[in-house]
């Protein structure tokens, strides 16, 4: 698995566990929640959520 995939999955996992009513809007390439939307590419960015900030690669979770 690439780091980009691992980052995206960790960010998405954190979002669905910690934000209410979040969904993927594939047609607009957006991740939508009650406060607005995010471009799906943001899921691949380190630090987008607490799950990928700091030294996340060495965490066991």
**CA nearest to 7, candidates 34, 18, 54, 35:** 54
Grade residue 20 by pLDDT with cuts at 50, 70 and 90. confident
Grade residue 43 by pLDDT with cuts at 50, 70 and 90. very high
Grade residue 55 by pLDDT with cuts at 50, 70 and 90. confident
The reported pLDDT for the residue numbered 35 is: 80
pTM: predicted TM-score of the whole model, two decimal places? 0.84
The reported pLDDT for the residue numbered 44 is: 95
Judge contact between 44 and 7, C-beta under 8 A.
yes
Evaluated on CA atoms 48, 13, 50, 35, the torsion sign reads positive
The reported pLDDT for the residue numbered 46 is: 95
């Amino acid at each position: 698995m690439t780091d980009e995939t691992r980052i995206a999955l960790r960010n998405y996992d954190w979002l669905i566990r910690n934000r209410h009513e979040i969904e993927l809007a594939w047609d607009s390439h957006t991740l939508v929640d009650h406060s607005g939307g995010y471009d799906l590419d943001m899921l691949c960015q380190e630090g987008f959520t607490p799950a990928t900030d700091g030294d996340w690669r060495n965490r066991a979770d």
